[in-house]
Amino acid sequence: MAEVSVGRTTQRSAALFERACRTLIDGVASPSRGPLNYHPHPLYMEGGCGGRLRDVDGNDYVDLMLAFGALVHGHAHPRLVEALQRAAERGALTATASEIEIVVAERIASMHPCAERVRFANTGTEACMAALRLVRGYTGRDKIIKFEGHYHGWSDAYSLRSNMPGGDAVDSLGIPAGALADTIVLPWNDVDAVERALDANKGDVAAIVTEPVMANMGVIPPRPGYLQALRELARAAGALFYVDETVTGFRLGPGGACGRFGIEADIVTFGKALGAGFPVAALAGRAEVMEALEHGRVLHYGTQNANPALLAVVDESLRMLDDAAYARLEQLAGRIVSGLREALDGEAIVQSVGPMFQIYFTDAPEITSYRDFGAHVDRDRFNRFVHALFEHGVYTSPSPALHSVLCTAHTDEDVDRVIAAAAASV
Ligand code: PMP
């Protein structure tokens, strides 16, 4: 793609937004892509290539959003395009048993330490909903423990305190109180809070549900030993330990966060990077737990589950995620994080785990919790900073809660451009 442009205009995006608002809610397909975060209008994208994205006015950007982390190999990787073309010739969907679902399930099981059995779904939200029903069905218990600031999709039972601090506790209108009656929300990175809640709800908690890295308030790493402590507390309480790897799976390493931090989950969910840009998600876990899904005892259906055309892409994508690919991601991450820290010194801090990172404009030395985020992060400044990055040819979400990410297609030149753009935008 062409060089990053300067002196850009976004007239076509402006015109499309005006037109879009007549038929689409907020002019977009998901609220975070619209006026909630973008001013005066979102940028309409034509497409991408590798780690770059081009808008409809012909401006190029280094893409750090990568479809909210879905594009582990960037845009239109030639091997994935070819896999999709070949698969499309065999038809879009059979909705029958197919060999490719076995191949991909075997691949997932060989990569992730907790995936003895696999069930495919289509989106992270859907996989998390199925996992919730599974933990309840398997244990015969109703309550779940989740954490403030953690997001597990938009279904009712999880929709408590997932939004940024300061808003309503319930994430949405239209959720009956009963749907949330069994959802216990606790501060994260706090072992005592979990101990107390398990004590107060003895015999009633089906699962502790956690993001392994808090990735929907930027990037907040787990304290050393915290995830292991959750595992042990769950086991002692007869509850399951459910790690939502929608963001971290196939990104923080072949074994996701579980592999990286050496933790043993009963159930995990995947989305985003698993699908390499296509709607493929999965739940996986210990055989004994997953087998509660047999014969639909815990019901989970789906016309599109294990779509063979999309799984052909996933198979190719997972093959490409070898040790060299992860080493490359770590190396790029090391460079971008140290470069950004230097460029933003005194203005912002940068937190990261592997290729996921977040810039926080804050007076605090570190952001360790949802409450820290609420008290110490200058969200408006982040939003303005990202709009300035657009001017300098870098794209990421202007939402201060949504982190940036690198892909295997990014180059050292992309990293240099981001660092220069950040220095010019601050
Ligand atoms: N779980 C986590 C941890 C997520 O970050 C997300 C999406 N941001 C989801 C689940 C939901 O995934 P999807 O958007 O594919 O429904």
Q: Is the pLDDT of residue 75 over 60?
A: yes
Residue 1 has pLDDT above 70, yes or no: no
* pLDDT surpasses 50 at 3: no
pLDDT tops 80 at residue 118: yes
Q: Give the mean pLDDT of 293-320.
A: 98
Residues 45 and 28 in one domain: yes
pLDDT average, residue stretch 24-36: 95
The residue whose CA has the least distance to atom 1 of ligand 1 is 152
- pLDDT computed for residue 160 by the predictor: 97
When computed from its CA atoms, the radius of gyration of the chain, rounded to whole angstroms, is: 21
The answer, yes or no, to whether residue 146 has pLDDT greater than 60, is yes
pLDDT of 149 higher than 60: yes
Check whether 388 has a pLDDT greater than 90: yes
Q: Which domain holds residue 127?
A: 78-320
Q: Is the pLDDT of residue 325 over 90?
A: yes
Distance 420 CA to ligand 1 centre (A): 31
Whether residue 2 has pLDDT greater than 90: no
Ligand 1 centroid vs 424 CA: distance in angstroms? 32
Query: Quick check: 5 pLDDT over 80?
Result: no
pLDDT of residue 6: 52
Residue 305 shares a structural domain with residue 335? no
- Which of the residues are catalytic? 151, 244, 272
Using most ligand atoms within 8 A of CB, pick from 147, 158, 211, 272 the residue to mutate for ligand 1.
272
Residue 138's CB is within 10 A of a number of other CB atoms, namely 23
With cut-offs at 50, 70 and 90, classify the pLDDT of residue 108.
very high
Query: What is the pLDDT at residue 281?
Result: 98
**CA of residue 274 to ligand 1 center, whole Å:** 12
Angle at 46 between CA 43 and CA 47, to 5 degrees: 110
381 falls in which pLDDT band (50, 70, 90)?
very high
The CA 145 to ligand 1 mean position distance, Å, reads 18
User: With 90 as the cut, is the pLDDT of residue 295 above it?
Assistant: yes
User: Hey, what's the torsion of the CAs at 232, 131, 408, 424, to 10 degrees?
Assistant: -80
Does the pLDDT of residue 38 top 70, yes or no? yes
Question: Domain end: 320, 347, 366, which one?
Answer: 320
Pair (211, 123) in one structural domain: yes
Closest ligand 1 atom to Cα of 245: 3
Instruction: Determine, yes or no, domain membership for 2.
Output: no
Q: Are residues 344 and 267 in the same domain?
A: no
Nearest C-alpha to atom 13 of ligand 1 is from which residue? 124
Kindly report, residue by residue over 415-426, the tens digit of the pLDDT. 999 999 999 999
Residue at which a domain ends, from 320, 350, 365: 320
Instruction: Report the CATH number at residue 364.
Output: 3.90.1150.10
Dihedral (CA of 355, 361, 366, 369) sign: negative
d(CA 134, CA 157): 14
Mean pLDDT across the stretch 183-194? 98
Q: What whole-number distance in Å separates Cα of residue 253 and Cα of residue 321?
A: 8
Residue 79 has pLDDT above 60, yes or no: yes
Cα 215 from Cα 210, distance rounded (Å): 11
Pocket test for ligand 1, best of 32, 65, 122, 125 (most atoms within 8 A of CB): 125
Query: For the residues 377-395, what does the mean pLDDT come to?
Result: 98
For residue 7, is pLDDT > 80?
Answer: no
Residues 346 and 228 in one domain: no
Give me the percent of the chain exceeding a pLDDT of 90.
Answer: 98
Q: How far is CA 356 from the centre of its chain?
A: 10
Q: How confident is the model at residue 89 (pLDDT cuts 50, 70, 90)?
A: very high
Residue 4 has pLDDT above 50, yes or no: no
pLDDT, the chain, mean: 97
For residue 167, the model assigns a pLDDT of 87
The helix or strand, by DSSP H or E, that contains position 287, with its residue range, turns out to be helix 287-290
pLDDT tens, 219-271? 999 999 999 999 999 999 999 999 999 999 999 999 999 999 999 999 999 99
> Number of folded domains in the chain?
2
pLDDT(359) > 90: yes
Of 355, 341, 338, 360, the C-alpha closest to 405 is: 355
Average pLDDT over residues 114-132: 98
Which residue ranges have their beta carbon within 6 Å of ligand 1? 68, 123-125, 128, 151-153, 211, 215-216, 244, 246-247, 271
In a domain, 165, yes or no: yes
pTM: 0.97
DSSP character at residue 397: -
pLDDT confidence of 301, banded at 50, 70, 90? very high
- Which sign, positive or negative, has the C-alpha torsion 405, 396, 149, 345? positive
* Ligand 1, pocket-test mutation among 246, 280, 353, most atoms within 8 A of CB: 246
Mean pLDDT in residue range 118-133: 98
Ligand 1 atom at minimum distance from 150 CA: 3
As a dihedral over the C-alpha atoms of residue 305, residue 212, residue 77, residue 403, rounded to 10 degrees, the angle is 120
We report the CATH number of the domain holding residue 148 as: 3.40.640.10
Regarding whether 301 and 228 lie in a shared domain, the answer is: yes
Instruction: Tell me how far the alpha carbon of residue 403 lies from the centroid of ligand 1, in angstroms.
Output: 13
Q: With contact defined as beta carbons under 8 Å apart, do 121 and 134 qualify? A: no
Confidence band, pLDDT 50/70/90 cuts, at residue 356:
very high
Provide the residue type at 407 as one letter: C
Amino acid at 169: A
Residues 305 and 412 in one domain: no
- Packing angle, helices 308-320 and 78-88, rounded to 10: 150
